[in-house]
Amino acid sequence: MILHRLSPFFKNDLTRLRACANMPSVWGAEIDALIASYEVDACTDDAISAIQSARRIIKIFICGLESDAAFKAKLEATTLTDWDIFSEPPAPRALQDRLAGMLYIVASPNDVPLIELGDQTRYIGVALFDRCVSDKLAFDVNVADDNFTALLFDAANDDAIAKIAAYFLESRRDITTRILVQHNLPTWQTLEAPHEKMVLYRTLVKPYRAQVLAGKMRSVLTAIPTTRDAEIDGIAYEDYTELYFRMCDQPWDLIKTAQYKLIETLNATKVLHFTNDDGTDLTMNIDGFTFCNSVIARNIPGSEVFSAPRIDSTNGVIVAKGRFSAKDDAGGIMENLTLRFKDGELIEAKAEHGQDQLDKTLSVDAGAKRIGEIGIGTNPYLKRHVASILLSEKIGGSFHVALGDAYTMTDYMGDPVVVDNGNRSQLHWDITTMLVGKGGRIEADGRAIMVDGLFTDPALDVINRGWAALPYDQRPASWQTIYPEK
């Protein structure tokens, strides 16, 4: 494949690289090599690597650092997250192909997808790229590059940050579809960008974030566990990988139907009350809000139902046991959280370990101390806490609150919804609290709808037990060994 002929995004890269080649810089040899890589027949792996390297060069020039030899030396001395060091999970290629098919949410030849790739995507990323090429789409690819971004922002002034934000918004202007295939915890030492500059950058790119939160851009997200996740959660990595792929393989049509039944109850509820044996005792008013039925159209693996509480209504305490990480925090871990709310505001936040990390996460703005989302996890296969935000918020027999930004969409997968409680923040951090195995209860207007992490309504049995709720002969063969006939 000739890279610059595949998509206008890559053609634009080549135009920028040629412009850079005509300017004095310390990157001349690298630019010449990249121009050549965009003009010759290359395999997909090499193409993705070239795109990542080209975007680095382009951003360096945008920031005016092209002649800064010290900055170049610093980059060369730092472990960057190059596409070439990414790997794939220890899972059969057939399972990875199936996951790639689920992630490929392109709906028409006019879609313009952006594929965002992290670690563990070396095989799936290539499959998605090749599918876009085969379908002759205008598409773009972005490779996770946190350490490069941290060094770039550290060296850039505020004017340069503004130019990078403008470049980002311009590059996202025509995107209709986001396919995010991320890793969770990084396996390498991760650098942090200067806090003030990240706040400035996030403020400047807020229009794009607002589009996403409003549901105006079709998106799907997964986060594949890494060896670091396995270490933090105390699970053998091969077992963790199997857990992840089994979470992705549930009776989704039946779960979706059961979730609509659950949503009927929740939409008619005014006050939700959550308790568990760890000390959680939390109430919130959800009168007037409605819940979204989230299966696998937006997050893989599913599933959950989610909405928002009235912004000033949450009172009580959450005691969330386990290890937690927040987005964009360089992989920092917090453990065993206690969060106390009064009239919707977080008035006390403690961590047994990682208090400094918790304080920093909550200091981004005033909205970070209010709840923008309430969700109930419904994946029947995961019944233990894990550090991964995406996985933990789906735990069957759990609930989560998101501190920070509320969603603003008025439609979710064709269903009219009311989920915006008005909270605004640069943060949206889901914190999961276990109910299953913790004597956990959910009461809707005083009536128990969940006891010890299990829904009491027999119509929700498939949410409690997954494939085990089906007759033996209706379970896939791979699940008949997990749930044998009794």
pLDDT of residue 1: 86
303-341 tens-digit pLDDT: 999 999 999 999 999 999 999 988 655 567 899 999 999
Mean pLDDT of 193-211: 91
Mean pLDDT of 438-446: 98
Burial class (CB in 10 A: 0-12, 13-18, 19+), 79: exposed
Domain 3-244: which CATH number of 3.10.129.10, 3.40.1830.10, 3.30.70.240, 3.40.710.10: 3.40.1830.10
Banded pLDDT at 485 (limits 50, 70, 90):
confident
Give the chain's end-to-end CA distance (angstroms, integer).
54
224-259 tens-digit pLDDT: 999 999 999 999 999 999 999 999 999 999 999 999
Query: CATH 3.40.1830.10 spans which residues of the chain?
Result: 3-244
pLDDT of residue 329: 57
HSE, side-chain direction, 13 A CA sphere, residue 158: 6
Which DSSP string do the residues of 172-197 spell out, in sequence order?
HTT--EEEEEEESS-SS------HHH
Q: Which long-range contacts (CB under 8 A, 24 or more apart) does 451-456 make?
A: 452/397, 453/383, 453/396, 453/397, 453/398, 454/397, 455/262
% the chain with pLDDT above 70: 99
pLDDT of residue 422: 97
